[in-house]
Chain A
Amino acid sequence: MECVVQGIIETQHVEALQILLQGLCGVPKDRVRVHEFCLKSGPNLGVVPSEVRLLCDLAQPTPTWTVRHAGGAMRGAGAEQLSVLVRSVVESKVSNNALRFFYAVGYKLDHELLKIGFAFRFQRVVPITVTVTSANRMPRLHAIDDAVPLTPGIQLVEITAPAAGDNYNEVAAAVSSFCEYLVPLLHLSKPGVSTGIVPTAAAAASSLLSNSGGKAI
């Protein structure tokens, strides 16, 4: 399971957000360049199509593949009170033949996406991952080099933390409290809930950039 929130930030403030996260997390940032394949199962695998995502991490010298299946979100009154989305997730590293495997099993490529950005992975009560990426679409199949940003002016910020069935409340609280630190720059909410941008983000960003003008990260 994981707790996840998403938010958007204008591209011009991404650098300020990076500085803020650098200060909050205390770890160096990781480059993110992920080619994401979203595979949908064919009718031979059941009436209800299931979705599986294959993530190829291109930031490493040798591409590493991960398979990921995100289940449905937790529902109920308790889930509605949480400010984060809790959903079941299965993730595993796989070899590079996974794509062929899935094709052979009967999955079809539904869409693909290239995510470019950075991420911070740190520990704050629970391991938290903050990812800031721009979503790029490929005009032709697998044409990574021709990828163009889907929304040039806006990037997506995603905060995830792994959770278990018995501790998701604490994890949700930890993620929520961390999100409070980011309020000057962005609003975070459950995926699917629109937040808008923070109007005063420009002021916060300028102050962040000016304070740390001398720091080269």
Chain B
Amino acid sequence: MDVGGAVAAAKGPVPSPAVEAVAPPHVERLNPVVEQQLHLESVKIRALALYKAVSHILEDLDAFARSNSTIKWRDALGQFSMVSMQLFNIVEDIKNVSKAFVIFPRNINAENATVLPVMLSSKLFPEMEAEDIAKREQLLYGISGHPVHIQIEKLKARIDMIGAACEAAETVISDCRKTYGLGSHPGSTLVPTLDKVQAAKIQEQENLLRAAVNLGEGLRIPFDQRQLPTSLPSHLADVLSFGDGAQNLADNSGSCEKNTPAFSSTREVLQMLQTPGGQLIGRSVPSPSNATAFDNPSTPPMAYANSPRSDPNIMNTPSPQQQAQRQQQQRQKIMQLTHQQQLLLQQQLRQSSITGVLGQFQSPISHAQNCILNWHCCGKALFLVAVETFGHCFCMELKHKDEEGGRLGRFGFSLGIWENKCGSGFSSHLMDIWPTALADENSTIAGVRIQEKHKHWGSDIRSNWFKNLSLKIWDLPGWIRSYLKVLNRIDALISVPKILSSLSQISSMSASMQSQSRLPRMQFGLTGGHLQRNHPSQVFNDQMFGMSPSNPVNMLAMQQQQQGGFRNMSTNAHDLQPGMVNLPNTIQNPNFPQQQQNQQ
């Protein structure tokens, strides 16, 4: 037992059974199996060796300390690590079997603080021992007389029953926790789950939101409610103006063939402008969607100057004057128009009052402008834009200066300035529009072939492109036909066959008029009272309208010619060509000043 004591001393407290084995006369032996496993002898030898090694290290350290020489730490640590390894191995070997009767406390904590002394003690206090005996008797109350193994079984049964009861209690408690959401102690936080109803609501909202943002569902205003408000937000006030809004709204089916309220009111205006006598100052320009294309198609409009049917002397006769007076009265009704249109007309009237000579042309002008306004507002301004592309610069703002210096109505069709920083796609997309618009269904149009898709609208490339384009146009009079194809898009506004026929005679004309004026100054007829139509572009525009003699714009052009400000117009259709042919020559600006001289 000294050996056992020595072993225990090296590693920890003396196991009480071993001690008890010493005290009572009846010597208890360790279970032979356990003893065999313990290998007490070998453990003892190893422990002794360990002890010697540790003491040797301590002596060395002592010697170093006394001699004040530097310790070779590397060696010392090596020895120490060897010693610790040996200890570790010994402890591991007996650990497995020592659990039964050895307490090897590594640390004291709250759990075992009260129990540890009792377990380490070799003998209990008398009171505790008395308690221990009393509890033992209580436990073994019914079975103490039985043999030991039966007692053991019964005790085991009791333990099992208690264990089962504990488990049942645990489940009940956890169920209650889940039910009442109590989960208070850490590690068992329940994942909050959404209520099904709530989840469905959120799903619905999510679908709504995603559809709206990505597809526009739920955001489309019904067609009948799409009217431009009278007060636009500030960022739209400059952008949108009269007549732009309603006509440019697609209905939900995507068709652009619907009559809009604003438009129809404009039509009423036009009808109002018709003289009661049925004499049309100009034919009203109906909505493209209107099945009845023209009012009174059978009634030929008045012959105007420059019309093929006109009397050469008509330039001298103020023919529409009487009608103009009547229409000036009717103009009052125009005030009932929409706000934007009122603005336009007021502007026109204001502007036109600058030159009193033009008074006689006011109402026809305004009428024509209304027509053009409608036409434009129908969204069929592809013509305009097509014209623009042949202009000098794709990024132009139409400014108009008249000779009086006043800035007349600048209903400029301003195009955006494309600062194409990010790349090419949109410009090429835009370029795609033109071939589509101009060249589809007609492969024989050689004039306008936008072959070079310039990826970047750099100014140099732009000008090159237009130069090339203009060269091509010059070579091919078929360009005119292509141009008319563009016009063809505008439903029934201009009777293209008539234009074609009238232009066929011009198609043979050479490019002698290249030096004529530029196109881009195309006030699209919406400047009030502007009569300085000294831009062949405007001439062209007017003349294009003038192709169908019943077109009111033609009258506008004619009457402006009468004013004498513009002397380019001649009375035969052949002279229309200068205006048309000049269209592509927009780059050649220097020629512009010559125009007035040339065409006198």
Question: Do A95 and B417 touch (CB < 8 A)?
Answer: yes
Beyond A44-B382, A49-B254, whether A154 also contacts B202 by CB under 8 A is yes
Task: Give the nearest-CB partner of A154 in chain B.
Answer: B205
B13 proximity list for chain A (CB < 8 A): none
A43 to B425, CA, bound (A): 21
Q: For chain A residues 42-94, which have a beta carbon within 8 Å of chain B?
A: 42-46, 49-50, 56, 58, 63, 65, 67, 69, 88, 90-94
Is A8 part of the binding interface, using a Cβ–Cβ cutoff of 8 Å? yes
| Number of A-B contacts defined by CB within 8 Å | 201
Beyond A110-B220, A195-B206, whether A88 also contacts B425 by CB under 8 A is yes
Is B221 part of the binding interface, using a Cβ–Cβ cutoff of 8 Å? yes
A35 to B194, CA, bound (A): 35
Question: Do A38 and B426 touch (CB < 8 A)?
Answer: no
Interface size on A, residues (CB 8 A): 68
Is B380 part of the binding interface, using a Cβ–Cβ cutoff of 8 Å? yes
Question: Do A142 and B236 touch (CB < 8 A)?
Answer: yes
Residues 224-255 of B, flagged 1 when their CB comes within 8 A of A and 0 if not, give 01111100111110111000110111100011
Q: For chain A residues 131-178, which have a beta carbon within 8 Å of chain B?
A: 135, 137-138, 140-145, 150-151, 153-156
Question: Do A199 and B414 touch (CB < 8 A)?
Answer: no
Is B178 part of the binding interface, using a Cβ–Cβ cutoff of 8 Å? no
Question: Do B239 and A99 touch (CB < 8 A)?
Answer: yes
Beyond A106-B379, A108-B248, whether A43 also contacts B256 by CB under 8 A is yes
Question: Do A108 and B422 touch (CB < 8 A)?
Answer: no
A96 to B414, CA, bound (A): 9
A6 to B192, CA, bound (A): 24
Task: Give the nearest-CB partner of B206 in chain A.
Answer: A8
B426 proximity list for chain A (CB < 8 A): 67, 69, 90, 92
Question: Do B414 and A111 touch (CB < 8 A)?
Answer: no
Question: Do A199 and B194 touch (CB < 8 A)?
Answer: yes
The DSSP consensus for interface residues of chain B is loop
Beyond A42-B250, A112-B219, whether A141 also contacts B418 by CB under 8 A is no
A112 to B413, CA, bound (A): 23
Q: For chain A residues 1-28, which have a beta carbon within 8 Å of chain B?
A: 6, 8, 10
Residues 404-436 of B, flagged 1 when their CB comes within 8 A of A and 0 if not, give 000000000111111111111110010001001
Is B87 part of the binding interface, using a Cβ–Cβ cutoff of 8 Å? no
B residues at A contact (CB < 8 Å) = 191-194, 199, 202-203, 205-210, 212-214, 216, 218-221, 225-229, 232-236, 238-240, 244-245, 247-250, 254-256, 376, 379-382, 384-385, 397, 413-426, 429, 433, 436-437, 489
**15 A-B residue contacts at CB 8 Å?**
A42-B254, A43-B256, A44-B380, A44-B382, A45-B433, A93-B421, A95-B416, A101-B414, A106-B256, A142-B228, A150-B219, A151-B209, A154-B206, A155-B209, A192-B214
Given contacts A35-B233, A96-B238, A153-B202, 17 further A-B contacts (CB under 8 A): A43-B254, A49-B254, A56-B235, A69-B426, A90-B424, A91-B422, A100-B240, A108-B379, A109-B250, A111-B216, A111-B221, A135-B209, A137-B218, A142-B240, A145-B233, A150-B219, A196-B203
